């Protein structure tokens, strides 16, 4: 699990792509502190496992599903990415609960400056937008952000100066693709409500049930 508070901007040193997967080597410093093989590091918000490391960086493998669902397929050597190590028990939860399991991608449609902040508008498909609510949380490329507004096709977030300096978000241009992870709480609520709605159909006893089973 992660918080969406980016620790470091890393840089892709090498990316070796096969037909559907990839092996990625990332130059970094901060996230290497205490790293071990098998550790999880959020890479642009994607939970990936460290398979090798040295004093200058680490290597991860991205499977076909990850390449298909995220913006990793659009990156190349030299691309900058947001990095965050997994939570430890006792750490402060300064952002929100982020699993590192991307729901899909969005496209940056607009960027506007207002005083010391920036507004970013992201276009996203219905399967993502249904979980986006004003004042709720969302992770964009692994960055925990508060939703300011949402409509039928887009949602809007605000970038404060600290987030501008510590992440790659304001290095993105219009039409760039970003990873989106919705707040997991909304998905659990949907699942629970969906299960409750289906229970009467599965367990309800009516005249049809009695006739079909020889009781009437």
- Whether residue 191 sits in one domain with residue 109: yes
Q: Give the model's pLDDT for residue 196.
A: 45
Neighbours of 204 (CB within 10 A): 9
Range of the domain at 169: 104-195
Is the pLDDT assigned to residue 6 strictly greater than 80? yes
Q: What CATH number has the domain bearing residue 74?
A: 2.40.30.20
Residue with tokens 């939860």: 93
Q: Tokens 């300064």, residue? A: 94
Token pair, residue 68, equals: 């298909």
Q: Are 83 and 8 in contact (CB under 8 A)?
A: yes
Asked whether residue 81 falls in the same domain as residue 150, the answer is: no
User: What does the mean pLDDT of the chain come to?
Assistant: 90
Mean per-residue pLDDT, 174-178:
96
pLDDT at 206 over 70: no
Boundary (domain end) residue, out of 24, 58, 85: 85
**How far apart are the C-alpha atoms of 104 and 66, rounded to whole Å?**
10
> Does the pLDDT of residue 51 top 70, yes or no?
yes
> Who contacts 208 (Cβ-Cβ below 8 Å, separation ≥6)?
none
Element spanning 192, H or E: helix 184-203
| 36 Cβ contact partners less than 8 Å away, ≥ 6 residues apart | 50
Over residues 80-96, the pLDDT tens digits come to 999 999 998 888 888 89
Query: How distant is the alpha carbon of residue 32 from its chain centre?
Result: 21
């Amino acid at each position: 699990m992660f918080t969406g508070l980016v620790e470091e901007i890393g840089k892709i040193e090498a990316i070796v792509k096969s037909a559907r997967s990839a092996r990625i080597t990332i130059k970094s410093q901060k996230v290497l502190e205490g790293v071990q093989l098998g550790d999880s590091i959020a890479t642009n918000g994607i939970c990936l496992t460290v398979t090798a490391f040295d004093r200058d960086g680490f290597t991860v493998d991205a499977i076909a599903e990850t390449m298909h669902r995220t913006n990793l397929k659009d990156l190349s050597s030299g691309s900058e990415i947001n990095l965050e190590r997994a939570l430890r028990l006792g750490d402060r939860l300064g952002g929100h609960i982020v699993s590192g399991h991307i729901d899909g991608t969005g496209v940056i449609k607009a960027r506007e400056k207002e005083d010391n902040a920036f507004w970013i508008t992201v276009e996203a498909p219905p399967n993502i937008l249904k979980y986006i609510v004003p004042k709720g949380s969302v992770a964009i490329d692994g960055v925990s952000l508060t939703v300011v507004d949402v409509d039928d096709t887009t949602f809007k977030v605000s970038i404060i100066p600290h987030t501008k300096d510590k992440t790659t978000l304001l290095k993105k241009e219009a039409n760039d693709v970003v990873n989106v992870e919705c707040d997991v709480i909304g998905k659990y609520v949907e699942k629970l409500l969906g299960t409750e709605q289906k229970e009467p159909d599965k367990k309800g006893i009516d005249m049809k049930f009695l006739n079909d089973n020889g009781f009437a």
